Amino acid sequence: MAKGIEIRTSPHLKKVLTVDQIMRSVVLALLPVSAFAVYQFGLSVLLLLITTTVVAVATEWLFARLSGRGNTVADWSAVITGLLLGLTLPPGFPLWMAAVAAFVGIALGKALFGGLGYNVMNPALVGRAFVQAAFPVAITTWTPAFAPERFSELIPSTLTLPFMQPVPIDDWVAGLGLDAWSGATPLALQKFQQIELPLGEVFSGTIAGSAGETSAILILVCGLWLAWRRMLDWRIPVAVMAGAALTALPFWLLDPALYPSPWFVLCSGGLMLGAWFMASDMVASPVTARGAIIYGLFIGVLTVIIRLFGGLVEGVMYAILLANALGPLISGWTQPRVYGAGSRPKA
């Protein structure tokens, strides 16, 4: 009767939710955002997303093999990195540069720290920061949304040969026959020309910008779905948005003509994508509830400060990377109060 009796230690029950399930859900939540990016900018973005994802997964596989950690591709985390990275790049970004970004993101941002769970910063943003420094022109070259031939032809810079600078795309853009194309994102328009695009456009995303950051509403819906499924900590995006809006508010009240409105701040640039999908990266954010709020607020505040007073137009990326670096410190400050600590015996 006692054949094959099993012995485990308690707890003998286990919640059915594993890392790969969480990661798969995040990928699923990113798919609508990716689809809209392809719809908006055409074939170039499709190739861009495929490139970053494939290179990210390949790099993950390579380093897992080199370090003998077994097959870590199956946890799907590299797919998220690849997709996210692609979504933060300009639509016409040369593919070879995108591949460099994906490789650096996984290799430098993740594998060198020991792989999933040990990275200090969000790997996708590490990759993006690298190419921001390496290819400053290409990463600030924007193309118009809804170009007429976007499903039949590529943006000329997409297929730049490796180690070559991309061709200028001004002629190509002029050939599209779009009026009033300034080559600037809504953020840049606001910052340098004080032209604030209508809120409806930045909210729905029918504007220029990085491939997947333009539609605030779509990102919001996908993020909320993840939060509802408890696969991301809602405190982080909420704190990021609160921090950004509250920092922007006094400036806007002082001088609405010069400074952007809090709504514009929330819906423009990479703030939504950053708040919902990058700041909320579990590995690089604090584990405690209070820590998550401090961390989120810090990102929001810093983003707006960089945007308003820094030399850069966009500040989400550096704000998140900086907050990532502070994450362990914030966790340390916000250790939970242990049950019974400070409770006095009743006399």
Partner 1 sequence: MALFSIFPRRKTFDHGIYPVEHKELTADKPIRRLPFAPELVIPLEQHKGKPAIPTVRVGQEVVRGEPIAEADGHVSVPMHAPATGVISDIALAPTAAGPKALAIYLKVYQAASQRVLFGLERDLATLSREALVAAVQQAGLVGLGGAAFPSHVKLMPPAGRTIETVLVNGCECEPYLTCDHRIMLEQTESLVRGIELVLRATGAERAIIGVEDNKLDAVEHLRRQLPAHLPITAEAVRTKYPQGAERMLITSLTGREVPIGGLPADVGVAVYNVGTLAQMGELLPKGQGLIERVVTVSGPGVERPGNFMVPVGTPVRFLLEQVGLKDSYGEVILGGPMMGMAVASLDVAVTKAVSGVVVLEREDLDLAERKVYPCIKCGACVEACPISLNPSVLGELAQVREYAAMAEHYHLDQCFECGCCAYVCPSNIPLTQYFRIAKAINREDK
Q: Does residue 194 belong to the site contacting partner 1 (CB under 8 A)?
A: no
How many CA atoms lie within 13 Å of 329's alpha carbon, on the beta-carbon side? 8
Q: Interface mask (CB under 8 A) for partner 1, residues 21-40, using x and -? A: xx------------------
**CB of 279 vs partner 1, minimal distance in Å:** 13
- Kindly tell me which residue out of 60, 213, 233, 314 binds partner 1, with binding defined by CB under 8 A: 233
* Total residues binding partner 1 (CB under 8 A): 50
In the block, residue with structure tokens 């996984």: 106
Q: Does residue 288 belong to the site contacting partner 1 (CB under 8 A)?
A: yes
Q: Does residue 224 belong to the site contacting partner 1 (CB under 8 A)?
A: no
- Kindly tell me which residue out of 137, 171, 180, 343 binds partner 1, with binding defined by CB under 8 A: 343
The span from the CA of 280 to the CA of 274, in Å, is 8
- In the complex with partner 1, which residue's Cβ is closer, 18 or 165? 18
- Kindly tell me which residue out of 221, 283, 322, 326 binds partner 1, with binding defined by CB under 8 A: 283
Q: Does residue 7 belong to the site contacting partner 1 (CB under 8 A)?
A: yes
- In the complex with partner 1, which residue's Cβ is closer, 15 or 180? 15
Instruction: Select from 238, 250, 254, 253 the least CA-distant residue to 299.
Output: 238
95 CB-contact burial (10 Å; exposed 0-12 / middle 13-18 / buried 19+): buried
Q: Does residue 164 belong to the site contacting partner 1 (CB under 8 A)?
A: no
Phi, psi at 108, each rounded to 5° = -85, -40
Q: Is 126 helix (H, G, I), strand (E, B) or coil?
A: helix
- In the complex with partner 1, which residue's Cβ is closer, 159 or 290? 290
Name the DSSP letter for residue 234: T
The span from the CA of 320 to the CA of 317, in Å, is 5
**CB of 122 vs partner 1, minimal distance in Å:** 12
**What part of residues 84-103 is at the interface with partner 1 (CB under 8 A)?**
none
In the block, residue with structure tokens 């950004």: 244
The span from the CA of 112 to the CA of 71, in Å, is 16
Q: Are 89 and 46 in contact (CB under 8 A)?
A: no
List interacting residues with partner 1 (CB under 8 A): 1-2, 4-22, 75, 114-118, 233, 282-289, 292, 331, 335-341, 343-347
